[in-house]
Amino acid sequence: MARTPARSTSGPGVSGTGGFSLFRFFGEVFSELRKVSWPTRQEATRLTVMVIALSATIGLFLGLVDMAFARLISAISGT
């Protein structure tokens, strides 16, 4: 019968001492954040306005659909 290799205790999130190091974790987080391609202020503003406008449009549409269904159900039920 073949033997399975022993599982390694080292890996992502596990320090060499066998425990979790909070300082190492935050060090790696900040290291990754330095690699991020951040949007410019203009891009962030433009995308924020786009999200707000799209959310308002969808909210208005769903409100109108809800009102139409409410009237339809009210007309069907006779109340």
Residues in Cβ contact with 65 at an 8 Å cutoff, skipping those fewer than 6 apart: none
Check pLDDT > 60 for residue 13.
Answer: no
Q: What are the residue boundaries of the structural domains of the chain, listed by start?
A: 39-79
| Lowest-confidence region among 3-17, 27-41, 63-77 | 3-17
What pairs with residue 14 in β-bridges?
A: 11
pLDDT grade, residue 3 (50/70/90)? low
- Render pLDDT for 17-35 as a digit per residue (tens, 0 to 9): 567 899 999 999 999 999 9
Residues 51-55 have a mean pLDDT of: 98
Check pLDDT > 90 for residue 78.
Answer: no
Q: Which of 58, 36, 40 is nearest to 48 (CA)?
A: 40
CA–CA dist 5, 33 (Å, integer): 36
